[in-house]
Amino acid sequence: MIQIVNADGTGEQKVIASMRARAAAKNSDIEKAVAAVMEDVKARGLEAVEEYSLRFDKTAPYEISRETLDKAYASCPRELIRALEHAADNIRDYNEKLLAKSAEWTSPDGGTVGRVVRGLTRVGVYVPGGTAAYPSSVLMNVVPAKVAGVEEIVMVTPPTENLNDAVLAAAKIAGVDRCIAVGGAQAVAALTYGAGFIPKVDKLVGPGNAFVAAAKRMAYGSLDIDMVAGPSEVLVIADGSADPKFIAADLLSQAEHDKLASAVLLTTSAELAWAVDAEMVRQTGYLSRSEIMEQSVRDFGCAIVCRDLDEAAALANEIAPEHLEIVTEAPRALLPKIRNAGAVFLGAWSPEPLGDYLAGPDHVLPTSGTARFFSPLSVDSFLKTMSVIEYSRDTLAPIQKEIVALAETEKLTAHANSIRVRFE
List active site positions: 322-323
Rounded to whole angstroms, how far apart are CA atoms 269 and 276? 11
Task: List the one residue out of 125, 140, 148 whose CA is nearest residue 216.
Answer: 125
Contact (CB, 8 A) for 248 and 274: no
Rounded to whole angstroms, how far apart are CA atoms 359 and 89? 10
Task: List the one residue out of 159, 162, 167, 157 whose CA is nearest residue 191.
Answer: 157
Q: SS in 3 state form for the chain?
A: CCCEEECCCCHHHHHHHHHHHHHHCCCHHHHHHHHHHHHHHHHHCHHHHHHHHHHHHCCCCEEECHHHHHHHHHHCCHHHHHHHHHHHHHHHHHHHHHCCCCEEEECCCCCEEEEEEEECCEEEEECCCHHHCCHHHHHHHHHHHHHHCCCEEEEEECCCCCCCHHHHHHHHHHCCCEEEECCHHHHHHHHHHCECCECCCCEEECCCCHHHHHHHHHHECCEEECCCCCCCEEEEEECCCCCHHHHHHHHHHHHCCCCCCEEEEEECCHHHHHHHHHHHHHHHCCCCCHHHHHHHHHHHCEEEECCCHHHHHHHHHHHCCCEEEEECCCHHHHHHHCCCCCEEEECCCCCHHHHHHCCCCCCCCCCCCHHHCCCCCCHHHHEEEEEEEECCHHHHHHHHHHHHHHHHHCCCHHHHHHHHHHHC
Rounded to whole angstroms, how far apart are CA atoms 42 and 28? 21
